[in-house]
Structure 1
């Protein structure tokens, strides 16, 4: 699904933040991305999402070299990827329900075709009683769960999640992890960036450890 070959990234004339990254994200795979703060995990997720271009090396996404993809085609490719940002990126003028349903609306689907699925997912993440409220009145943990629901509602081919359990209590973290595992069972490749060792111990999954700009992988 995704292949990195000798990828490096630097900003301007500064030192390389990421160096010589060579790895694959196979279809239907599940992996944790971990490492110390400042190691570049969020930057790596942005490369995977094609919102950054590498300074050198090859990134192949869905059998396309991202260096040769026309800019107007990138949004269509990104629709195949669900992403959970640390800053959530909810639309302030949309309700919880509308934020989660947005990827489906963008595809031109009628609300009658997805309303039940959205409500079921919001109940699963504990937001069944918050469907009609705006982001301004949600807590950090609630916003995070809305962002997760929005990322997975359309069953993407790839899910990228940046610290998706950072603002929730341990029982909800495990509930969300089970949701990611079920999504993976249905065919989505999952990459979760996290510092939570107890979370990683719940799943027999590949660990990608980023440190000092380099990546070590343990299957």
Structure 2
């Protein structure tokens, strides 16, 4: 699904932010992306999404060399990816319900075919009473949950999430984690960036990708 080969990234003429990255994300797998603050977790997620292009090396996505993709082809491939970044990117003039339903509207689906599905997901993430509220009146945690629901509603083949449980209480964090696990069981490959060790310890089967010093070390299961 994703394959990095000797990937490096630098900004301008500075030193490389990440160097010699070699790893793969297989279909239907679950991995945590972790490491200290500033280590490059968000940068790596943006490389996976191809919103950043590497300065050297090769990234294959869904079997395609990213360097050969046209703009339209890249847009088509990104529709197969669900993304939760920390800036949320909700549209302030739309309600919570409308923001979550937006990817389905973009696919041309009639509202009658997805309304119940969107409402059920909003209830699951604790926003059943806030579906008609607009983002400016939502709390940070509510915006985060709306962004998670929007990413999950299309059942993506690949989910990239940057600290998706960072602004919620531990009980809701566990509930959201169960939602990610269920999506994984339905066939989605999941990559969650987090520094929460207790959250990661709940999933002994998940692979850990540890970012530090511009590289990625990979551990199967819970490393010491």
Q: State the Cα distance separating 1:189 from its structure 2 match.
A: 0.2
Q: Give 3-state SS (helix, strand or coil) of 1:166's partner.
A: coil
Unaligned ranges ≥5, structure 1: none
Q: Which residue of 2 aligns with 1:30?
A: 30
| Distance in 2, Cα, partners of 1:44 & 1:86 | 14
Give the match's secondary structure for 1:133: coil
Alignment match, 2:152 = 152
Once superposed, what is the RMSD of the aligned Cα atoms?
A: 0.5
TM-score (norm 1): 0.99
Which residue matches 1:166? 166
Partner of 2:209: 208
1:112 matched to 2:85: no
Alignment of 1:187-202 (within 5 A): 187-202=187-202
Number of residue-to-residue matches in the alignment: 219
Deviation at 1:72, TM superposition (A): 2.3
Q: What is the correspondence of 1:94-109 to structure 2 with a 5 Å cutoff?
A: 94-109=94-109
Following the alignment from structure 1 to structure 2, what is the Cα–Cα distance between the partners of residues 74 and 139? 33
Matches within 5 A, 1:48-197: 48-197=48-197
Post-superposition offset of 1:175: 0.3
Query: What is the CA-CA distance between 1:75 and the residue it aligns to?
Result: 1.3
Counterpart Cα distance in 1 of 2:50 and 2:110: 29
Secondary structure of the structure 1 residue equivalent to 2:114: helix
TM-superposed CA distance for 1:50, in Å, is: 1.1
Structure 1 Cα separation of the partners of residues 104 and 72 of structure 2: 20
